[in-house]
Structure 1
């Protein structure tokens, strides 16, 4: 167990206002949680592994299997009435670079960027079993000015995801996610390239471009529900190539069906969503587009969208938009 040594190294870096903490190879560093302070470079050598202990919280190799067993009953160990940890969570950070590393076996979300700015994530591999509960790849949450590129993701839930807080707390906190680019990424298992469902502080100016997906349960995905509030606006999916997908295009404000309408501040909105040069081959379902009566999806634009599916349309209601040069245009937006 290396927890004390690892924490002492990072504390030494903090005391001199930054430095490099090296995990040298070969070696497996078994550790609980540790904090990284400002101006610190964490260098994990090739053939070195930071492995989370089930007696602590997850790190680079989160040793997630024990945690997945208590996903639906947090009274079981090792949860012991606590929620599962994220693998790497950075809070209120600025000028962050994460590159050339593998992150795997996360107890829950793998990389969580919470209220961060000026972040560059590149050449990172994310791997969680496809059935690992809530094992997202990257969650950009209440953050801005973020670029994620040249990454490979094979995970158990949303692969690339933008969030901005949940319900009343998210709206009160009021930190929108904005100015975010995901480009040149490869995705295998997972639940798609996603906005939401937690988006209560608002999300705007997000671009997914040059992304390939193979065997993903969802492709292009935006999701929210009554009670969230917040506005998602100016989102672009461009040059997206998919094959062997569950649902190719899934856009819903009715994520949990059957919820009753609520007040105006808790009614979510999707506006100005563009899909351009999007193709999907051999999917189960082509389109699921599902607004709500009090908040139709507005200005949904499909441009050069080509979808091949066993069932081309699942749901299409409460949406306003247009199609141009598409192999199929859902009837509700013609």
Structure 2
């Protein structure tokens, strides 16, 4: 499945690469002394009017406000290009837009880079994209909303390759309702929230997306490194499914790879393998709660090394409310099952090693919805605390059944 995605996306990229649009020829300033927003957008629009092409940034530094990508566009950077984004809120006004697919976009700020309802988009090159987040974090601390760096909604065939994204005002890469996504070799850099506040700077957010391949990424940030969510109500529920995350290295972050807490659309068929988590708060974290609903199932974690984790090594919690004290609450009583009840089942951990300050394994379900069918094989996480389980069914840790 993944090989087909990459191959087909490569074919489409080759189609749109036949024409090259040099941003400097459209008036961009490669010295970075003056904004090039209009020149960059003019090059993108010209390529789009000709059914796509490669919008190329020659070597240099560029300054820009918000830009919009369109179908069949390759945003291509020469080696060592730096693209800095302005930190003036006037450059990112509220965005209210009805898309051709009938969906409505209402955002408090226009994203730094956006694409809505398009196909075949690539951003590639050994370049640094700098969101100037330091100014935003001081100006608008939590719970304020700030601009997202890369916001990609309803796009099919998306490739992000080799770029470095740093100092995002808020989320770095935010994907929603996208299909056939490849993210390869990118780096994300924001300060850890326990060092210098870089609030809500999730690395890669994947929400209600299908067929996603994330490989060779390197992330250090102030929130989850990679977060998988799925939302919707009733007929609008859209799952996140068929996701492969592999060969990646996570440093500072709330979680190395987190699933939830937005689970109403359901998440299934997710594999995380051959990764290193070094200094994240938690390593592998599945979280939901009453009111969120959704089914999380068929999740596989293989060959993970976790070093110096600041909290739990592996955590699965159906009582997550956004706080650590809430995560450890024991005052949960049975409630009737309804559409908003979360279910978590069929989770596999294999060849997981490391150390953590808090519980090596922490699993808490709901009385009416125990977390079930969780298997640990060759899992060893050093900690001064014990494994903790509550409201579970058929949990097997290295051959020993441990239910509560």
Q: Could you tell me the TM-score, scaled by structure 2's length? A: 0.75
Partner in structure 1 of residue 117 of structure 2: none
Structure-1 separation of matches of 2:235 and 2:168: 29
Partner in structure 2 of residue 205 of structure 1: 269
Structure-2 separation of matches of 1:108 and 1:33: 14
Cα deviations by residue, 1:105-143 (Å, 9 ceiling, x for unpaired): 111111112111111111111111111111111111111
Cα deviations by residue, 1:274-324 (Å, 9 ceiling, x for unpaired): 1111112254331221111111101111111111012233x4201112325
More displaced stretch, 179-188 vs 96-105: 96-105
**Equivalent of 1:222 in 286, 295, 314:** 286
Residue 42 to residue 170, structure 1, CA distance change in 2 (3 Å): farther
Residue 184 to residue 171, structure 1, CA distance change in 2 (3 Å): farther
Query: Is residue 2:207 matched to residue 1:141?
Result: yes
**Equivalent of 1:249 in 290, 308, 314:** 314
Partner in structure 1 of residue 248 of structure 2: 185
Indicate conservation of the 8 Å contact 1:97/1:120, yes or no: yes
Q: Where do 5+ consecutive residues of structure 1 fail to align?
A: 75-82
Residue 171 to residue 104, structure 1, CA distance change in 2 (3 Å): farther
1:90-101 map, 5 Å? 90-101=152-163
Partner in structure 1 of residue 136 of structure 2: 67
**Equivalent of 1:317 in 358, 375, 390:** 390
2:360 alignment partner, SS class: strand
1:274-289 map, 5 Å? 274-289=348-363
Higher gyration radius (CA): 2
Query: Is residue 2:398 matched to residue 1:332?
Result: no
Structure-1 separation of matches of 2:390 and 2:269: 25
Residue 12 to residue 54, structure 1, CA distance change in 2 (3 Å): same
Partner in structure 2 of residue 79 of structure 1: none
Structure-1 separation of matches of 2:336 and 2:83: 46
1:37-48 map, 5 Å? 37-48=70-81
Structure-1 separation of matches of 2:210 and 2:305: 26
Structure-2 separation of matches of 1:298 and 1:280: 24
**Equivalent of 1:300 in 331, 352, 374:** 374
1:236 alignment partner, SS class: strand
Structure-2 separation of matches of 1:93 and 1:141: 12
Structure-2 separation of matches of 1:86 and 1:15: 27
**Equivalent of 1:265 in 323, 333, 339:** 339
Indicate conservation of the 8 Å contact 2:44/2:70, yes or no: yes
Indicate conservation of the 8 Å contact 2:313/2:356, yes or no: no
More displaced stretch, 176-185 vs 263-272: 263-272
Query: Is residue 2:179 matched to residue 1:117?
Result: yes
1:244 alignment partner, SS class: strand
1:285 alignment partner, SS class: coil
Shift, 1:67, TM fit: 2.2
Structure-2 separation of matches of 1:36 and 1:155: 25
**Equivalent of 1:233 in 290, 297, 306:** 297
Shift, 1:22, TM fit: 1.3
Structure-2 separation of matches of 1:282 and 1:9: 50
Shift, 1:173, TM fit: 2.1
Shift, 1:271, TM fit: 1.1
Partner in structure 2 of residue 80 of structure 1: none
More displaced stretch, 233-242 vs 56-65: 56-65
Cα deviations by residue, 1:220-267 (Å, 9 ceiling, x for unpaired): 100111100111110001111111002101110100147995761011
Residue 309 to residue 171, structure 1, CA distance change in 2 (3 Å): farther
For these two proteins, the number of residue pairs brought into alignment is 318
Structure-1 separation of matches of 2:395 and 2:314: 15
Indicate conservation of the 8 Å contact 1:197/1:224, yes or no: yes
Shift, 1:58, TM fit: 3.2
Q: Could you tell me the TM-score, scaled by structure 1's length? A: 0.90
Query: Is residue 2:50 matched to residue 1:16?
Result: yes
Q: Where do 5+ consecutive residues of structure 2 fail to align?
A: 1-34, 92-110, 114-128
